[in-house]
Each structure stands twice: as C-alpha cells, then as structure tokens.
Structure 1
Amino acid sequence: MEDNSLEKKFSKLIVAVSIVIPVVVAILFGVKLKDFGINVEPLSFLPPIYATINGITAIVLIWAVLAIKNGKRKLHEQLMTSAIALSVAFLVMYVAYHMTADSTKFGGEGAIRYVYFFILITHILLSIAIIPLVLISYVRALSKSFDRHRKIAKITFPLWLYVAVTGVVVYLMISPYYA
C-alpha cells in the first residue's frame, strides 16, 4: 500500500520552491554586484564549469535510469540525489556568474540564430517546468509510492535530460561570443 502522507506533507513546499526558485533567479539575474558598490571581478571562469556540470548531470540521469532498469534501486537513488545536487550547483554558479558579468549576446546570424533562440527558450521554459516535476518524483520515491513515481518520472526524465543537454548546447553556441 502506498503512503501519500509524505507527498501531502511536502506538497505546499514543492509549490513554494517551484515558484520561489524561478522568481529569485529572475530577480538575481538582473542584479549586478557592481551596482551596489561591490567590486568583484566577473566570474568568467564559471560558464565552462557549469556547462560541464550540465553535461555530467545528463550522464548521471542516463546512468540512473540504467541502474533502475537493472534493479539497482540504491544506486538509482544515489544517482538521482547526485543529479539534484549537480543541478543546484549549476544554479548557484549560473546566478553568481550573472551577478558579476553582463549577459553575453549571441552573435550568430541567419538560420543558426533562430535555432539558438529556439533551444535557449525551450531550455529556459523547461528548466522552470522540471522543478516541481523533479521534486514530486523525488518525494514519491521517498514515500515509496513507486507506481506514482514511475508515472511522473517518465515525464520528468526526458525533460530534465533535455534541459541538461541543451544547457551544454547553449554554452557551446554562445561561447565564441564571450568577451
């Protein structure tokens, strides 16, 4: 028998976190430390690091799915926890970079420009959408509601994988234009 009490307990927190994270990131994206008299060198070394973290997240997600398909539940759990930690690390570095540096403009022209913006926009929108999906999936697993966990994980996994992979693609496409 599945116990939904843990999921009910965390439902308001999941909603709050799913709203607060994108709002805070949007606000902090517009905050520049130099505007507050804090003279910090731009953290220009971070983009390749957080792009690599996105790539590692994609690998960890695939590894986690393979682990569970092979009946390695504990490994799956550890990998999924690692994927969440990697995503949090990415987010912290992403915000830190953007608080110390001006946004880089994509310099490509023609059709590649449309491809870039399509990838970027879908990446951003899905990165917001996966927050509650990841949290709900995780709580359902913790509450041992595995049937319900699998149902949402089938949606969460490809979207999260897309966000992780497109994070790398966006970095690769914009990296020639970094100052």
Structure 2
Amino acid sequence: MAMTEEEKKYKKWIVGLSIVIPLAVAVLFGVNLRKLGYDVEPLSFLPPIYATINGVTAILLVFAVSAVKRGRVRLHESLVKVCMGCSVAFLVMYVAYHMTSDSTTFGGQGALRYVYYFILITHILLSIIIIPFVLFTFVRGIAGAYERHKKLARITYPMWLYVAVTGVIVYVMISPYYTH
C-alpha cells in the first residue's frame, strides 16, 4: 500500500526529528552547566517526577490500546497524544536534570548490576529506535491509513511500553544511589 500525501508531507520531519532528538540529547547530556561555571541549582527533584511520567505513559498506552479495541477511536487518539506529550515532558526534564546535576552511578553489586545495565542499555537503545516508530504510527493514524497504522502499531506499542516501564525500573533501581 502506498504512502498517503499526508504521510509523505511528514516523512522528512519524522526522519529529521529521529536524528536530531537523539543527537541533541547526547550533546546536552554531556553539558553540565555547574561544571561550566554557571550558578544553577541542581534539579535533583526531577528524577522521581520523570519516572512517574514514564509510569503514567505506560498506563495511558495500555488504556489507549484498550480504547481502540473497544472502538473508541477518538479516546485512543487523545490518549496517544497525551502519551506523546508525556514523552516530550520526560525528555525535557531528563536533559534539564543532567545539565544541572552530576550523573549518578549505580552502586549495586553482583548479578543485580548486570540486570540493571541490561535494562538500562535496552531502555536507552529502544528510546532512540522508538522515535520514528511513534511518529510514523501517529501520522498513519491521523492520515487515515488505518491498516498500515495497525500493522506498525503492533511493533510500536510493545517497544514504547517497554521504554516507559523500564524507565520506571531504572529509576527504582538507581534511586538509592542519588545524592541530594
């Protein structure tokens, strides 16, 4: 099935955002304003907030899928938009935290350390990979390409849910090691 005109219109934006967002996060992650001499307060209160946003995203994703399965397409669309907004809010807070605070090192030992790093690495990799999936899936839905939307959503949904849930798990596992 061919791409709709609306999908074609957004394709360059989606590809661009899928490249720019991870690059910007990587660059900004390495910038610590305090170490550069700026007098900024560490935003150490943000991790539990953005972990909560990840949890809310996971719950809303489940509700969004449930809504569309019950034929409540408008509710599904609204919930997905809220999930996208939550993901943007998470990203802004995550970058702000890392630009004003020292990175926290996981202090667990033994097998727990391997579990933590496995979850963290898969979370980070999928959080990069998920960007074009979410955006293409969304555009297919709003463009009315419902069969193609459903087909891609079957891949996008479990990945996005995994990223949201593992964001909470990573926070829970590293939270004892935060310095305040």
Q: Deviations over 1:111-151 (max 9, x none)?
A: 00000000000000000000000000000011000000000
Contact 1:3 1:143 in 2 (8 A): no
Q: Does 1:109 align with 2:109?
A: yes
2:96 corresponding residue in structure 1: 96
Q: Once the 2 structures are TM-superposed, how far is the Cα of residue 2 of structure 1 from its aligned partner?
A: 8.0
For the residue of structure 2 that corresponds to 1:109, the secondary structure is coil
1:28-84: CA deviations, max 9, x gaps?
000011233321111000000000000000000000000000000000000000000
Contact 1:44–1:97 under 8 Å retained in 2:
yes
> Separation in 2 of the partners of 1:99 and 1:133?
27
Which shows bigger deviation, 35-44 or 139-148? 35-44
Letter in 1 for 2:40: V
Corresponding residue number in structure 1 for 2:127: 127
SS at structure 2 position matched to 1:33: coil
Instruction: Verify the 8 A CA contact 2:34 2:101 in the aligned structure 1.
Output: no
Q: How does 1:149-160 map to 2 (within 5 A)?
A: 149-160=149-160
For normalisation by structure 1, the TM-score amounts to: 0.98
Match status 1:12 vs 2:17: no
Aligned to 2:75: 75
Q: 1:147 aligns to what?
A: 147
Name the count of aligned residue pairs: 179
TM-score (norm 2): 0.97
Q: In the TM superposition, what are the counterparts of 1:5-44 in structure 2 within 5 Å?
A: 5-44=5-44
SS in structure 2 of the partner of residue 36 of structure 1: coil
- What CA distance in whole angstroms lies between the structure 2 residues aligned with 1:39 and 1:116? 33
Counterpart Cα distance in 1 of 2:118 and 2:3: 41
Specify the alignment match of 2:118 in structure 1.
118
CA distance in 1 between counterparts of 2:15 and 2:3 reads: 20
RMSD of Structure 2 on Structure 1 (CA): 1.2
The amino acid of 2:160's aligned partner reads: W
Q: Secondary structure at the match of 2:35?
A: helix
Equivalent residues of 1:2, 1:144 under 8 A apart? no
- Counterpart residue number, 2:58: 58
Give 4+ residue runs of structure 1 displaced > 4 Å after superposition: none
CA contact (8 A) 1:48 1:171 kept: yes
